[in-house]
Each structure stands twice: as C-alpha cells, then as structure tokens.
Amino acid sequence: MSPATATRDAVRVPVAKPAPGRRSHRQGGWTPWLYLAPALAVLGALLVYPIYQLGLISFLEYTQAQVSGGEPTSFQGLGNYSALFSDSQFWSVLLATVVFAAACVLSTLAVGCALAVLLTRVRALPRLALMLAALGAWATPAITGSTVWMFLFDPDFGPVNRVLGLGDHSWTYGRYSAFLLVLLEVVWCSFPFVMVTVYAGIRAIPGEVLEAAALDGASQWRIWRSVMVPMLRPILTVVTIQSVIWDFKVFTQIYVMTNGGGIAGQNLVLNVYAYQKAFASSQYSLGSAIGVVMLLILLAATLVYLRVLRGRGEEL
Amino acid sequence: MKLTARTARAALTALPLAALALAGLAACAPQTSDNSAKSDDRSGTLRVWLFQEVSNGPKQQVVDKAVAAFEKAHKGADVQVEYIPVDTRAQKIKAAFNDPASAPDLIEYGNTDTAGYVKDGGLADVSAEFAAWPEAKDTDPTAKQSVTVGGKVYGAPLFVGVRALYYRTDVLKGLGLAVPRTQDELIATAKKVHRAKPDLYGLAVGGAYTYGALPFLWANGGELATENGGKYTSAIDSEASRKGVAAYTSLFGDTNCPAAKCAQMGGNATVTAFANGKAAMAIGGDFNHAAVEAGTVKGKYAVVPLPGIAPGSVAPAFAGGNNIGVLKSSSHRTLAVGLMEQLAGKATQRELFDAMGFLPTYTDVRAEVARKQPFVEPFVRSLAAGAKSVPVSPGWGQIDSSLVLPTMFQEIVSGKKDVAKASADAAKKMNDVFGAAG
C-alpha cells in the first residue's frame, strides 16, 4: 500500500561502487548497467510507477465520485497540500508520529542491543531459548500480536490487570497509556531483528580485540561503548534506519489496538491518518498527499543520517 | 559524487531511457470508469448483491422464492444472487462502481449511503418506474425519502430499522422505579439504577453510538444540518442541538456508564451489554431483538419507545434500513427494475418480516405484521411518531466515515473539550464536507 514499503527494500540494495582505478576503464560503461538492469526493471515497476501515481493523484481531486466516473477528475495544483497543511489535526498527528516513532526506535535499539550482548554472555541452552522466544515474536504477524496484546490488557478479562490488581482499568482510554501499550507491542515484535543482526555483528568482531579490552580491565559497558559500537557502526546504522522507517509508518498495531486511532482520534499516527482519509472517507487525493509527505520525511531523514555518517568518514 | 567520464556516459545513455519511461507513464492518468449503461438486454444473467446477515438462511429462502417467481415470469432471465459481508460492503460496492464490467445489476445498500452513491454516479434513476409501480403508493414517506435525492428516486426501500428503549423489568421493579416517561426521567432513572447497583450500567450508552445519540439531539429540537436550496449547513452547534448533546453525554461518567469503558462503545457493544445482563436499559433496534432474546435477559425485559421531552412523547428515532437499487452500469435495466420490484414488493417484505423480523416499509403491511407480532409494536409506534434520517447530502457518507460525531461525543465524555467547543469543531468539519460535496 505504502510506497515506503518499497523504500525499505531499496535501502538494502547494495550499490555497486568500484574503487577508482582498480578496474580497467577500457570496458564500456554498459556492463554495470547490464548487470543492474533486472534489479532496475523490478524497482522501476514496483517503486517508481506507484510513487509516480501517488504523486499524480495528490495533485488531483480524486474521490470516489471521480473513480467511478460520477464526476470528472480535475487538477488541483497544490490544493490538497494546502488543505493538509492548514489542518491542525495533521500537525498534531505528525508530532505524535515523530515522538512515538522516536520512542519506539530508541526502545527497540536499547532492548535489541542489550539482549544481543546478553546472548554472547550466556551458555548454549539459555541462548537457544532466548533465540527461539525472539524468533517467535518476530514471526508473529502484527495483527495476531496486537490482538493477543489487547487480550492481555483487556479491562475485564485480561491477566495483566488481574496480576497487577488494577481492577477494570482501561489501558486504551488515556492517550499516553494507549500509546505506551502500542509501544510495548511494537518493541516486542521488532527487537528480534535488531538483536539477531547485532548479535551476528558481535560474533564477527575478532575475539582478540574483546579479550584485549577485557584484559585491560574494561567493564562490559565500556567494551560495548568503546569497542563494539565503533566496530558495529555500519550494522547499527542499518538497523537504526530500518527501525526509523518501520516505526514511522507503523499501522497495524495502532489500527488494531486503538480501534482505528483511539478515542476522538487521540492515538492517530500518520499512516493510520492517511488510511482514514484515503480509504475510510474515500478522499484518495488527500491520502496520497499524506503519503507523499511521509515519503519525503523518511527520505530526508535517511539522507541526512547517511550524510552525517559520511561526514565522519564512514561508509555504509 | 565525482563525475567521471564513465559515469557521465552512463548518465547520458540513461537519460533518454528515463525520459522514454516517463513519457510512457504520463499517459496513465489514474483510472476513471464509465458507468453509463450500454444496452438494455431483455434476457441473460442478472447479478444481485444482497447483504449477508448474521443468520442468513431464512433470508436466503425468502429471496430464493422471490427469484424463482421472477424467473418464471421472465423467460430467459437467469438471476444469480450473491451475499456480501456487511463489514466490507463499502469496499465491495466502491469496487463495483470502479469496475462496471464485473459489477452486479442490483444491490442492497444502507439508506444513509443513498446520496453518496448517487453522487458517485453508481445508482440509476428509477423515478418513472417507481411512480408507475402500484405498490409504491403505500410506501411510508420516511422510507421513500431515503431513496430520494434531489427529487429523483434511486431505488426501492427494502426494510426499515428503528431503535427504542429496552429495559429490565425485574431491575426497575426491584428498585421501585417506574418506566421513564420523559428524557429527564430516563437520565435520572439510569443514575438511580447505577447508584443502587454499581455493577450495572443504568442506560448503556456509547461514545461511538451515533444512532443512539441522535434521538436526544432531535428531541431537544436540534438538527444535524439544515438545508437551504440544496445546500446543507451543519446545525450541530445550535443551542437546541447542544442541549441534546449535553443530555446524551451527561450519561457518561461514574454516575451511569463510566467513560473509560463507554467512550469507546458502539451500538452493538451497548446491546451486547444489555443482552448479557450488564445494563438495566439500552437503546436497541428491532433488528437486535433476536440477539437480546438469545442473551441471559430473555423474559426479563420489555421495550418502549424512547421518551421525548414532554411526558408521554416519543423522541424522534433514527430511521435506518436498507434499500435495493439498480446500478447505472447495468446492461439489463428493465429486468433489473422488475426484479427490484419483486424483491422489495409487499409479498417479499411480508415474508422477510416473518423470516428475519425486518420491518416492512409499507404502512399497511407494517400495521398488519404488528398485529401478528406484539414485540414490534413499540418500534412501529416510534416510526409512527415521526422518525428522522441523516441529511440527504452526498457529503454525509464522508462525515459518517470520518467519525465526526463519535469524535465529538468522545471529546466531550473524555473531558478534552466542553460541549460548546466540541460541537463548534464538529460543525466546522461538517461544513467543510458539505461545502466540498455541494
């Protein structure tokens, strides 16, 4: 549905970047393009065309009446964007999305990295158990996870309230407690990716380096901060960007757990807001404009991040 | 990136390719379909979409019988009926408008969607046929209005749905409370019950239960919107409407229905609470009768029209219900109109009532079934007292689906805004939609 889904994969596509001078210049410039052609064709069909349509629709008046031919399609220029930017709800949803995504990314990275380090410190059996539990959470579809989570926190029948002795406290009534509940679910289903990736990275760090640090008397935290993080930086970059993209466009968890955006829309995030506009109320052009804004924000965030890294002399 | 000779050459070759690709794409503007009918075949396959009800078997039997009678009368016509899920009907019907080639000829649709579907260009104008149809003269005016947009008729009413007050006879009797006769008494009774029995909601209400809230608005003289020359203007923030909104939202809170739970409830949740014995009163429809009978309160409840402001008066109920309409894209218009009259005719409606409890849209048939089945009497009385519907504006569908009214109620009951501010905001949102929809 969202163009950002394709962006996620685009990040992973390695860009062929031959070091200057190492390859003969006599070979024509065609060869790399030839090799890239299949990937480019797929990307073009799956990424460029939908984004083109998204952008185009965002400049039109395109509601159900236009789709089914009841009224002619008309060009609106930036009309949809000005309607969007003058809507105070859009700004509050945008702010909520940014804060919520930031909180999710930080929590996910913290939990994922901590458990990755833990994995390297425990014996085989607990490691296997932790791995299996994490993979189970990872493999659970978001909608199933959200539903189970809702059951756990149900005011009348949920075990959490019973254990904590909270009576029939409703977790989804307050704005922050509803966001917290969703955050917990998002972290639960996305930390395994961080954990497994970082764990693989730590495994690739030469044992002597860590041993030397330990012999020098470095604490576990010091080893993580001064030895592992610098060596893992490319991996951490990738998981951060991926987490930012995933958490910024979280949809299922909010939609399922807060019943489409919470009481009076208090838990709306951009993706759910776009869905409500585009599909629930058939304002496809306004929904497209929101999609374009999201795409630009994510692209900008990713580019700035890569730029900062490159400024420090590091390559992805 | 450093521009070397090689990358420059590559870019030069790529540019025309990209330009070519873009030129190809530019031809593909977003899709728009043509819904005008191309022909009017008098034989062939006629496709019908009806809603899949919770227990659909009896409905299917009635429909099968009507279809068999129709096929007998029209040689060469082959009717295929498909039951579509109610939850996803909006998407399915939109898809049918988008793709006339695979669209049905006849659809069942909710009466609040009429104006929107007409604006979408999906429904055919059947004014002439409706006027020439003898049975149509007994159609009650509210039902006829629900198929009328701008003076033209776009279908035939299939049944009406109306809500009334379900109450627990044992609870009220046990507490020595009388059945409320005015809105004030209703609110007071609800609070008394909750005080005496904190486990029960006095009157189960829901922040997302628009159709349960509207009678409070209307009883106080409020309106959703007023029409002037085809243009609608929201009236949700008028003084009378605010009084109704305040009356409804006063039922939320620790004195009756705790906001933490009730703010999120919709109509079905309140009826479920009543059926499971969690509420002393609820606003439920004639179509909820079976669900309540199946609950734990069977035999311990009764139904009266929802009281209005003056003692003994009835608060105007929301006139819900479904219609049957012919699609504009149908290539079998004459046959489809004939089948519409068969399915929405008096004989079929009478049988649908027996099978499903759907209230007929004809005043005479309705009076006849009320004599047979006493439980529908309070609902028929509510209808007779003057039921109302939502504005017949193409914008209503959008106002409904963008949850303008539930948002307003939820803002008030959760204490985010007061009645004046929330209703003013809702009015602004409604006017934006009305202004755009025309």
Structure confidence by residue, pLDDT tens digits, A30-40 = 888 999 999 99
Do B348 and B275 lie in one domain? The reply is no
A interface with B, Cβ–Cβ below 8 Å: 20, 25, 29-30, 32-33, 44, 48-49, 52-53, 56-57, 60, 62, 64-73, 155, 168-170, 172-173, 259, 263-266, 276-277, 279-283
Is residue A65 assigned to a domain? no
Do B363 and B299 lie in one domain? The reply is no
Angle at the Cα of A295 from the Cα atoms of A238 and B425, rounded to 5 degrees:
130
Nearest partner of B111 among B36, B51, B35, B34, judged by Cα: B51
B149-171 pLDDT tens trace = 989 999 999 999 999 999 999 99
Residue B340 belongs to domain spanning = 44-161+319-384
Is residue B38 assigned to a domain? no
Best B120, B254, B421 residue to mutate vs chain A (most A CBs within 10 Å): B120
Is residue B133 assigned to a domain? yes
Of all residues in chain B, what percent carry a pLDDT higher than 90? 63
Closest to B120 (Cβ–Cβ): which among A20, A65, A168? A65
Nearest partner of B369 among B388, B344, B346, B343, judged by Cα: B346
pLDDT of residue B147: 93
Show Cβ contacts of residue B223 under 8 Å, excluding neighbours closer than 6 positions: B217, B235, B238, B240, B241
Classify burial at B197, counting beta carbons within 10 Å of its beta carbon; exposed 0-12, middle 13-18, buried 19 or more. middle
- C-alpha to C-alpha distance for B356 and A272, rounded to whole angstroms: 37
- Chain A contacts of B394, Cβ < 8 Å? 65
Structure token pair of residue B278 = 């969690």
> Minimal Cα–Cα distance from B302 to chain A, Å?
28
- C-alpha to C-alpha distance for B396 and B394, rounded to whole angstroms: 6
Residue A261 belongs to domain spanning = 92-311
- Chain B contacts of A65, Cβ < 8 Å? 119-121, 394
Do B229 and B328 lie in one domain? The reply is no
- C-alpha to C-alpha distance for B392 and B149, rounded to whole angstroms: 7
> Minimal Cα–Cα distance from B137 to chain A, Å?
30
Show Cβ contacts of residue B77 under 8 Å, excluding neighbours closer than 6 positions: B43, B44, B46, B70, B71, B332, B335
- Chain A contacts of B398, Cβ < 8 Å? 281-283
Average pLDDT, chain B: 88
Is residue A40 assigned to a domain? no
Closest to A155 (Cβ–Cβ): which among B2, B261, B416? B261
Is residue B181 assigned to a domain? yes
What b/e readout covers A130-167, taking b as 16+ CB neighbours within 10 angstroms?
bbeebeebbeeebeebbeebbebbbbeebebbeeeeee
Q: Are B123 and B154 in contact (CB under 8 A)?
A: yes
CATH number for the domain harbouring residue B106: 3.40.190.10
> Minimal Cα–Cα distance from B94 to chain A, Å?
7
- C-alpha to C-alpha distance for B146 and B391, rounded to whole angstroms: 10
- C-alpha to C-alpha distance for B375 and B282, rounded to whole angstroms: 16
Strand duo B148-149 + B152-153: pairing = antiparallel
B128-152 pLDDT tens trace = 999 999 999 999 888 998 999 989 9
Lowest mean pLDDT among A37-51, B4-18, B83-97: B4-18
pLDDT of residue A5: 43
- C-alpha to C-alpha distance for A92 and B388, rounded to whole angstroms: 36
> Minimal Cα–Cα distance from A65 to chain B, Å?
4
Amino acid symbol at A168: D
Please answer yes or no on whether A169 and B410 come within 8 Å at the CB atom: no
Is residue A47 assigned to a domain? no
Do B193 and B340 lie in one domain? The reply is no
Please answer yes or no on whether A71 and B6 come within 8 Å at the CB atom: no
Helices (H), A16-158: 30-43, 49-58, 64-67, 79-85, 88-121, 124-139, 142-152
- Chain A contacts of B401, Cβ < 8 Å? 280-282
At A123, is the pLDDT very low, low, confident or very high (cuts 50, 70, 90)? very high
- C-alpha to C-alpha distance for B157 and B361, rounded to whole angstroms: 6
Do B365 and B301 lie in one domain? The reply is no
Best A64, A157, A268 residue to mutate vs chain B (most B CBs within 10 Å): A64
Is residue A23 assigned to a domain? no
Nearest CA in chain A to B3: A20
Is residue B356 assigned to a domain? yes
Which of helix, strand or coil describes residue B251?
Answer: coil
Closest to A70 (Cβ–Cβ): which among B29, B121, B403? B121
Do B174 and B156 lie in one domain? The reply is no
Helices (H), B76-146: 89-98, 114-119, 127-132, 141-145
Please answer yes or no on whether B410 and A44 come within 8 Å at the CB atom: no
- What's the whole-number mean pLDDT along residues B55-74? 91
| CA torsion, ordered B356, B358, B360, B365, to nearest 10 deg | 50
Do B326 and B363 lie in one domain? The reply is yes
Q: Are B316 and B220 in contact (CB under 8 A)?
A: no
Please answer yes or no on whether A173 and B264 come within 8 Å at the CB atom: yes
Best B2, B4, B6 residue to mutate vs chain A (most A CBs within 10 Å): B6
Please answer yes or no on whether B29 and A73 come within 8 Å at the CB atom: yes
The total domain count for chain A is 1
Nearest CA in chain A to B99: A68
Question: Using CA of residue A197, residue A199, residue A203, residue A205, what is the dihedral sign?
Answer: positive
Best A25, A82, A86, A263 residue to mutate vs chain B (most B CBs within 10 Å): A263
Do B98 and B61 lie in one domain? The reply is yes
Do B232 and B110 lie in one domain? The reply is no
CATH number for the domain harbouring residue A295: 1.10.3720.10
Do B219 and B365 lie in one domain? The reply is no
Lowest mean pLDDT among A173-177, B5-9, B379-383: B5-9
Is residue B28 assigned to a domain? no
pLDDT of residue B251: 96
**pLDDT above 50 (res B5):** no
Show Cβ contacts of residue B137 under 8 Å, excluding neighbours closer than 6 positions: none
Please answer yes or no on whether A70 and B6 come within 8 Å at the CB atom: no
Do B202 and B263 lie in one domain? The reply is yes
Which of helix, strand or coil describes residue A311?
Answer: helix
Predicted ipTM? 0.74
The total domain count for chain B is 2
Is residue B413 assigned to a domain? yes
Do B339 and B259 lie in one domain? The reply is no
At B384, is the pLDDT very low, low, confident or very high (cuts 50, 70, 90)? confident
Amino acid symbol at B205: V
- C-alpha to C-alpha distance for A131 and A124, rounded to whole angstroms: 10
- What's the whole-number mean pLDDT along residues B259-272? 90
List the beta strands (DSSP E) in B126-260.
Answer: 148-149, 152-153, 156-161, 163-168, 201-204, 225-228, 231-234
Please answer yes or no on whether A67 and B411 come within 8 Å at the CB atom: no
At B438, is the pLDDT very low, low, confident or very high (cuts 50, 70, 90)? low
Higher pLDDT, B240 or A12: B240
Amino acid symbol at B240: A
Nearest CA in chain B to A283: B398
Is residue B94 assigned to a domain? yes
Strand partners, B303: B166
pLDDT of residue A26: 54
- Return the CA Rg of chain B: 25
pLDDT of residue B4: 46
Best B89, B329, B399, B402 residue to mutate vs chain A (most A CBs within 10 Å): B402
Is residue B21 assigned to a domain? no
Average pLDDT, chain A: 86
Structure token pair of residue B290 = 């079976």
Is residue A66 assigned to a domain? no
Please answer yes or no on whether A33 and B13 come within 8 Å at the CB atom: yes
Show Cβ contacts of residue B372 under 8 Å, excluding neighbours closer than 6 positions: none
Longest Cα pair distance anywhere in chain B, in angstroms? 96
